[in-house]
Chains A and B, each alone.
Chain A
């Protein structure tokens, strides 16, 4: 049996992106044939404006050259417009008489410029602004003529006007609405924009309707007449008054179309063999005109074409950025507002800054920024993630930096940084390098940037900053799916939530089985997915799923932290930070015996022996005769305590004993990311409970429990969960919360990020409101912990396990 045949009509951004996604998922599923009406391979249409203005060359914006199609075994027909789909016989035909049969057909015909139905519309010198051919026509006109009129003061029209002005033409923009970009901006921001463009020499006729185009004796346009009779000289007229989904072919074939080719959430049209993506498609009544939604559609369509059948497209929130150098403008979501919304505005006409934020209930739903767009990416993220913003509402309009970010998550102000500013501290990548890679290589995702520049590929703390640079460089074209919705890695199409779900629903208990059933693309995965899979398996099926040492990163495999020179650090557990003279003596002796280069008190109230040779690890563990501190694990780390009521004159409860009890109760717990606790004896909080995953603070009448704090890359204060009376309740609530986290969080997601995603109310409902549910969670934790023992003892006792520490000799 031959392979199935996939035919794609329309060789543009949405279609080719779908093919790229499909080739990643199922490289051998189809023989692919592509028909494109244009004579070029796929290029980055949104960068036509810099080509027009002379800031980039056409070669720079090619995304897939003919060699790419050849390498991937795709038959490419350029200059080939498809004029007929024969759905009964399942073939398509071009106007040149080519034919291709299909099993699946992908329509990606984009849209057409809307041509005003006025007299003179067919004169020479009247063009649309849609493809490179149009750009060439405009450049010819700019070289030999003087006056240009652009009809339409939207995104496209203004970019055309700016480009033509940069090429030396005298440009007038004729616009029907009373202000510019009325679909992206409100009146005030539109006014600021107009002033800025007028300063560049562009003239405007607003609230103006075109009634006719007038030609000269050669049949070329010479002027444009408005309905009030005014005539404006014009040797070139650019129609940029809107786009219409290109449904001609689909309609001719009898496919249901309504404002585009109608598709369902899987991007399937009413004929199940035919899919449509991009600007030609109408999803839930919306046809998008920007690339970001198209990329999301491409992912889903590819998944279904590949036969995986996972994923639905649910529509997109879009953002817009005008690509006119020197003008900063950004809008996203529902920035006009209306019933049920409130607006926060900041207006500084002299400084040329205007900001409007639209809020519905507790959430930010829209933003419109002019002049200072540095926080555009941040607002866009708040809109997409739908996080409640009522607590930061007062400071919201002043931007993220006004929130006082001690230790930023890299989320502030990429736009204002100079090119030489270092973005990724781990790999020493500066902003200019990232911007250049985005431009030169046509990158749209943070992952692609990671691959090409290494930025954000190590500790990841600058990911948000890289995302900002991306958004600031390509605007709405940035493909910035929230982390949780992205596939775990390149080996699978599943995201973390789907993977967890599948492991639970299908009762998967080993990595090879999971990879087989879930159709992993690489036979044994990679360094990203194997550790995640291993955690999901053992946390979902404790006692049943077997821990796979080879799926753990080195620290968890060697039960010690690897150092930059390949030696290890050893951190024995000191329950609650309490030690004895005897333990200290053993530590001192071991340090001497194994010539430990550095003995250091850690920030976690215990002692670190740094620089131990791997071969010495089992022996030093034996000599120390203390349990593992798990300082290396995605697991319970430390429980910091203060002295509390035992000695302190302010102590209200025995915080040290509480801390020790918690640490013993949770010993051996693996978790999505590391977990740190602290117990303080009074609200002076000497154990820093306010920045721990679980922080407990003693008060006269009992214990207050806080969750989701973090003292690391971005300091986050823990949120108050509840107050309980007894230490048994502290153990139960803490255990139940951590078990919920263990069951629901994504691998490497710390409690603060998990809480941001699911909300504190969700946790309260599961852990506080329902006593039975709480007891059940706690019981599941205890059940899982029943299988754990001290890993150091386990390594010492088992000759097989010890072998990994021994070297071979010649």
Chain B
């Protein structure tokens, strides 16, 4: 299945920040941009109690959840030890400054 979709430009996501991608009837997707301009996508639900990861503080390749400070790795969706859990990440591609996310397949 080829379901890559264009989301926005890299510039439309704040560096060290995130935007929320909303689809009717689906869980929101958080699209992150790191300080080094890498882009990642996670389901916008913290594995702890469902906090919106898009609202967290981004540092390195991780985001700290705004509700109770779990730290989630952006490239895998895994919570950092000692916490255990996975938010689920989606493949992301950046081409000519445009961000594409592959919605069909979810890892984790």
Contact = CB atoms under 8 A, between A and B. Distances in A.
Contact of B59 (A527, A549, A807): A527
A347 interface: no
A553 B56 CA distance: 7
B59 A454 contact: no
Given A564-B49, A808-B19, A457 B69 contact: yes
Contacts of A566: 50-52, 55
A527 B66 CA distance: 10
Nearest to A450: B82
B20 A807 contact: yes
Nearest to A491: B59
A452 interface: yes
User: Which residue among A457, A524, A565, A566 has the maximum number of chain B CB atoms within 10 Å of its CB?
Assistant: A566
Highest count of chain A CB atoms <10 Å: which of B7, B34, B60: B60
Interface residues of B, number: 37
A454 B66 contact: no
Interface in B87-103: 103
Contacts of B34: 524
Nearest to A427: B68
A522 B12 contact: no
A678 interface: no
Interface in A447-469: 451-454, 457-458
A527 B21 contact: no
B23 interface: yes
Interface string A718-751: 0000000000000000000000000000000000
Given A454-B82, A530-B57, A554-B56, A808 B14 contact: no
B42 interface: no
Contacts of B35: 523-524
A162 to B, nearest CB: 35
Interface in A784-810: 803-804, 807-810
B68 A426 contact: yes
Nearest to A459: B68
Contacts of A526: 59-60, 64, 71
Nearest to A548: B16
A557 B52 CA distance: 14
Contacts of B82: 451-454
B31 interface: yes
B21 A810 contact: yes
B22 A530 contact: no
A780 B41 CA distance: 44
A554 B14 contact: no
A564 B68 CA distance: 10
B55 A523 contact: no
Contact of A458 (B12, B60, B69): B69
Given A550-B58, A566-B55, A807 B22 contact: yes
A807 B5 contact: no
Which of A454, A562, A808 counts the most chain B CB atoms within 10 A?
Answer: A808
A554 B34 CA distance: 16
Nearest first, the 3 A-B pairs at minimum CB distance are A527-B64, A550-B16, A554-B66
30 contacts: A426-B68, A452-B82, A457-B69, A523-B35, A524-B60, A525-B59, A526-B71, A527-B71, A550-B17, A550-B57, A551-B57, A553-B66, A554-B55, A554-B66, A558-B55, A562-B55, A562-B66, A562-B67, A564-B49, A565-B50, A566-B55, A803-B12, A807-B22, A808-B8, A808-B31, A809-B21, A809-B22, A810-B7, A810-B21, A810-B22
Interface of B: 5, 7-8, 12, 14-17, 19-23, 28, 31, 34-36, 49-52, 55-60, 64, 66-69, 71, 82-83, 103
Given A526-B59, A557-B55, A558-B55, 15 more contacts: A454-B83, A522-B60, A525-B59, A526-B71, A531-B57, A549-B14, A549-B17, A564-B67, A803-B12, A804-B17, A807-B28, A808-B8, A809-B22, A810-B7, A810-B21
